[in-house]
Structure 1
Amino acid sequence: MKCIPLLLLTLLFFLNKQTAFAQIALGCDTVYILTETIPMYEKGDAEATKYLLNEVAPVVSSYNKKNDALVTKVHIDLIINQQGNVVDVEFPNSNISSEFEFEIKQKLLKMKGWKAGIMNGEPVCCRLSFPISCILYK
């Protein structure tokens, strides 16, 4: 009976390790999901929010005006490299159009000023996941 929990624990560890160390071809050999220090926007959270409001929110608003389907929440994964540059943007579980994804991706790839995540005292490539919620005012 003790063997089953141990086997389950080993399997969970293996599956988690596969997810946490995904490979991409953008200058990152390893992309960490969990780090000792998460990536931070150098100018602070208020400036990051300001950038999203000024750059991404108009794209969402434009998309909502053009389409019948209303976008209220978009989950975004930023891949930030060791130098603090956004090198990729992904949309997990997305039900938005590829055109809309492309427009948002272009805006976020231009978002400069990140401090890389830290693992074992060294800057590393890291995945930063967050939702963007949109409220429709009438």
Structure 2
Amino acid sequence: MKKWIILLVVLLLGMIALFSLQKDEQDLGDNYYYLPLYEAIDVGLPDGAIVYKSTQKYSFDEVKIKGDVVSIDCNEKFIIVIRKPKEVKYEEIYTKSSLGTDSLEYFIVVKKSDLVKGPFSKQKYLGKRKELGVSKDLKLDFEE
């Protein structure tokens, strides 16, 4: 019986540690942040998930990308983002077979110059990505 109680306590502590490591707001570095949809709704932002720049958490004066962000990645130089246009249904995003590459908008944020490039079609995004020298290590969902 003691073994089961110890095992249960260890599992519960592991789950608590796992959930405490999750962030509601993702720090993208250099004062850039990603606020996911559920958190944006909680703070009263009607346009959905956002990527913003601020010296203070939850200060949304410099929203760089707003809308339904479905994938994001970053490194020390760039932030890459896929956003779902308003006219695409939410369910279509998670069904690759029904999701055409023309259905999504792609962005590149150049951190050093604080420039947002996009929205791009997938083809133009890939060309701009190569032109800017975005690392191949940065990957987005729905990129092949």
State the TM-score bracket (shorter-chain normalisation). Answer: 0.3 to 0.5
Query: Going by fraction, where is strand more abundant, 1 or 2?
Result: 2
Structure possessing the higher relative contact order (Cα contacts under 8 Å, 6 or more residues apart): 1
Query: Going by fraction, where is helix more abundant, 1 or 2?
Result: 1
TM-score by length of 2: 0.32
TM-score by length of 1: 0.33
